[in-house]
Amino acid sequence: MGKTKNRREELKRAWQSFKQRGSADGEVRQEVFESWERCRQLNQTDFHNDKKRWPPADDEKVQKILNQNEILISTASLLLSRIAEMVSDSQYVISLHDRHCYMIDRYFAGNSLVFPQGSFQIGEKWDEAHFGTNAPHLCMKYDKPFLLDGAEHYYEIFHHLSCVAVPIHSEEGEIIGCVSMIGGYSENTSHTLGLVSAVAYLIETQLKLTKTVQTAAASFDTVAEGWGVLNADYTVRRVSPYTGHMLNVKKEELRNLNFAGMFAYEDFKKRLEDGEASFSYPEYDLDIDGRKVRCNVTVAPVKIMNRFVGVVLILREIKDVIRLANKVMGNRSYYCFSDIITEDKEIMAQIKTMKSIAATDCSVLIEGESGVGKELFAHSIHSTSRRLSGPFIVVNCASIPQNLVESELFGYEKGAFTGASSNGSPGKFELADGGTIFLDEIGELPLEIQAKLLRVLDNHRVRRIGAKTEHPLDIRVIAATNRHLWDEVEKKNFRGDLYFRINVVKFNIPPLRERRGDVLLLADYFLSNISRKEENIYKQFTEGFRQMIQEYSWPGNVRELQNAVARAFYASRTSLIEAEDLPQEVVSRVLEIRGNGDKASGQGETKLPCAKSGTAYGSENEKAEKPAHCNANYAQTKMQFECESILAAIRMNNGNVTAAGMSLGMSKSTIYRKIKKYGIRLN
């Protein structure tokens, strides 16, 4: 007691000295002395019961402050009230302040009349301008617990009190307020500091937990999946609103759902009772009052101290699972009508019609020889339709083994046949739900499958092998064949009713031999693509090459032309692609046609013209001349190809460098820079 009295008297002398001379006689903490200095600079003088220091708080402003700190207040209120009860036989004010030092809550223990009249009101700002040196302000200023005794307070009216304040931090470590405890000056202040520190810690912990729960609840309520938390007796503890949307159950009925009853006993309770860890069902028909809802289900038991306390259920709609699977497998369209290279009037007219019907859901049949690009047109129709964001499933009917066609198209249930997956599998039609299914080479389907396909197309519902129920489909069907399908109908190889079902709109893509104007156009396009792929190795076709590809009939259509251009590009040894670089069957067939033509006209043996030398193969000038002005160090390299490409372009453009650069995709400055680099002489 004597020690406390001496300390009290020492602080009193120091305070009086500061008030009189601005300096303190005795030991005063640096933080306290600096606070006194700030208070003096604010022109504050001592006062006794000066109620002007605590003007009435503005109700509207106070309410705004309380609203801003609602979570902090609700979190701390129970703890503060309990502390007030614990010290009810003493005289204390337990208060809560926000980060700006406004008092936002407080509890009195004992007789509140012993405290200064008019103070300790909700909404008061405990800064130095209003309350002088005080613990709530200092603890947040220095971010540490603060104990202020007696005369350490700047105002004498508080000298008989001790004040303890401890800051409260957010999860990120920011100060969001403080908790304070003010009572009579005594020797037990160290105990008070420990108690307040514990309360502040508990408030911080509870705030973190509250934030975690609120974040989880927000996620729980907004995620586009069904979530359910069940108690140990399988009653509902919490369920997400989206679950009701998935299961077509009203929001007010969700908590009464019998989740366990949606599963067969052996599929749910027995597995949980056997202590099985988390398990899932890729597809499960949940039984909801006799209704079947197919979902992807994950079941996770919850255990605390190795004791089963509940279950977490995660439900996903099958269409979302299929959408994700399609994304992973790349089941989407890759081409649009702008990717179709043509100047043929017939094809351009068909494209115009395709664009107009793309907006509808009518079935489309595309006929044409192999290699004309039927799939490209199917991709483009889907890319122009309202189903663009949906899947585009390609099925090559000719490549599926006959015994697997039905399961591939329509799917199967688990255990439907020997070798079937234990989880079952969706078919191509289910994968295409919400999008387009492209049945390529549909004419190759067995007749028994054609009958089942017709049923699916008629009612837009599919039944898996081994299933008891059908599932609705929202799909568009595009079919293609390299046969004349009506001829197959007449031969009894294709069902007539299915033909008319898929033949709502039919397009016939003409073969390449009937659109000669597209041959050079496509060849240049393929050459440009290869050049970009090979890091801009520029090559050009000779006139002899161009003449030969125009004379060939291209029985393999666009696909054969593309492969021939690629072969010629890689076979050529210079930057000029010769006719001799074409596949042998192309060269032989053209020479044969020319020979037959010459014999019919009475001419002798035909020579294949060489555009570079102006002679024929087999002559003394058979080998193509090499550019004379390129540095030999670039031979058989990318740089030589580039050098030769520039030379050839300049020659083909009669010495016009700018035009040569444009034909190579180079700017004027770029081609001149490369001419200088390779030492090419222009004269």
385-427 pLDDT, tens digit per residue, is 999 989 999 999 999 998 889 999 998 887 777 766 767 788 8
Low-confidence winner among 139-148, 460-469, 503-512 (lowest mean pLDDT) = 460-469
CB count within 10 Å of CB 508 equals 12
Considering the domain architecture, whether residues 471 and 565 belong to the same structural domain is answered as no
The whole-number pLDDT of residue 395 equals 94
Strands 226-231 and 436-440: unpaired
The whole-number pLDDT of residue 628 equals 40
CB count within 10 Å of CB 638 equals 13
pLDDT in tens, 146-166: 999 889 999 888 888 899 999
* Strand ordering across the sheet containing 279-288: 236-239, 226-231, 307-317, 291-304, 279-288
Low-confidence winner among 37-41, 71-75, 140-144, 255-259 (lowest mean pLDDT) = 255-259
Choose the most confident range, by mean pLDDT, from 53-67, 194-208, 593-607, 658-672.
194-208
The whole-number pLDDT of residue 323 equals 77
Domain boundary among 586, 602, 624: 624
**Cβ(474)–Cβ(430) below 8 Å:** no
Considering the domain architecture, whether residues 68 and 129 belong to the same structural domain is answered as yes
Sign of CA dihedral 507, 513, 517, 522: positive
Region 500-509: what's the mean pLDDT?
A: 95
Using the predicted structure, report yes or no on whether residue 271 has a pLDDT greater than 90. no
The whole-number pLDDT of residue 321 equals 75
The whole-number pLDDT of residue 113 equals 57
Contacts of 270 (CB under 8 A, 6+ apart): none
**Cβ(504)–Cβ(457) below 8 Å:** no
Considering the domain architecture, whether residues 492 and 399 belong to the same structural domain is answered as yes
The whole-number pLDDT of residue 551 equals 92
CATH of the domain at 494: 3.40.50.300
Domain boundary among 457, 478, 505: 505
Considering the domain architecture, whether residues 248 and 142 belong to the same structural domain is answered as no
Task: Using pLDDT thresholds of 50, 70 and 90, give the confidence band for residue 370.
Answer: very high
The whole-number pLDDT of residue 621 equals 32
User: For residue 440, which of 485, 475, 380, 398 has the smallest C-alpha distance?
Assistant: 398
Task: Using pLDDT thresholds of 50, 70 and 90, give the confidence band for residue 665.
Answer: low
Region 510-521: what's the mean pLDDT?
A: 94
Range list of β-strands (E), 53-160: 92-98, 103-109, 146-149
Region 585-600: what's the mean pLDDT?
A: 77
Strands 392-396 and 436-440: parallel
Domain boundary among 162, 192, 215: 215
Considering the domain architecture, whether residues 372 and 492 belong to the same structural domain is answered as yes
Say what percent of the chain tops pLDDT 70. 87
**Cβ(73)–Cβ(159) below 8 Å:** no
Tokens of 65: 């402050």
Could you give the number of structural domains in the chain? 5
Task: Using pLDDT thresholds of 50, 70 and 90, give the confidence band for residue 180.
Answer: very high
User: For residue 442, which of 475, 392, 491, 482 has the smallest C-alpha distance?
Assistant: 482
The whole-number pLDDT of residue 625 equals 39
Considering the domain architecture, whether residues 632 and 681 belong to the same structural domain is answered as yes
Region 195-222: what's the mean pLDDT?
A: 84
Considering the domain architecture, whether residues 355 and 443 belong to the same structural domain is answered as yes
Using the predicted structure, report yes or no on whether residue 81 has a pLDDT greater than 50. yes
Task: Using pLDDT thresholds of 50, 70 and 90, give the confidence band for residue 601.
Answer: low
Using the predicted structure, report yes or no on whether residue 492 has a pLDDT greater than 90. yes
pLDDT in tens, 94-122: 999 999 999 999 998 876 655 655 568 89
Task: Using pLDDT thresholds of 50, 70 and 90, give the confidence band for residue 379.
Answer: very high
Considering the domain architecture, whether residues 421 and 490 belong to the same structural domain is answered as yes
The whole-number pLDDT of residue 600 equals 54
Rounded CA-CA distance 646/450 in Å is: 58
Q: Select the more confidently predicted residue: 617 or 309.
A: 309
CATH of the domain at 89: 3.30.450.40
pLDDT in tens, 605-625: 444 333 333 322 222 333 333
Region 73-99: what's the mean pLDDT?
A: 90
Rounded CA-CA distance 376/558 in Å is: 11
- Number of residues in the chain: 683
Q: Is 492 left (phi over 0), alpha (psi -120 to 50) or beta?
A: left
pLDDT in tens, 420-449: 676 778 889 999 999 999 999 999 999 999
Considering the domain architecture, whether residues 367 and 485 belong to the same structural domain is answered as yes
Task: Using pLDDT thresholds of 50, 70 and 90, give the confidence band for residue 635.
Answer: very low
Q: Select the more confidently predicted residue: 246 or 396.
A: 396
Q: Which domain holds residue 475?
A: 330-505
Dihedral, 408, 411, 413, 416 alpha carbons, nearest 10: -40
Considering the domain architecture, whether residues 113 and 35 belong to the same structural domain is answered as yes
The whole-number pLDDT of residue 247 equals 87
Model confidence pTM above 0.85: no
Considering the domain architecture, whether residues 119 and 208 belong to the same structural domain is answered as yes
Considering the domain architecture, whether residues 131 and 205 belong to the same structural domain is answered as yes
CATH of the domain at 638: 1.10.10
The whole-number pLDDT of residue 164 equals 94
Helix extents (H) in 460-556 = 485-490, 496-502, 517-533, 543-551
The whole-number pLDDT of residue 284 equals 84
**Would you call 472 helix, strand, or coil by DSSP?**
strand
Rounded CA-CA distance 615/624 in Å is: 10
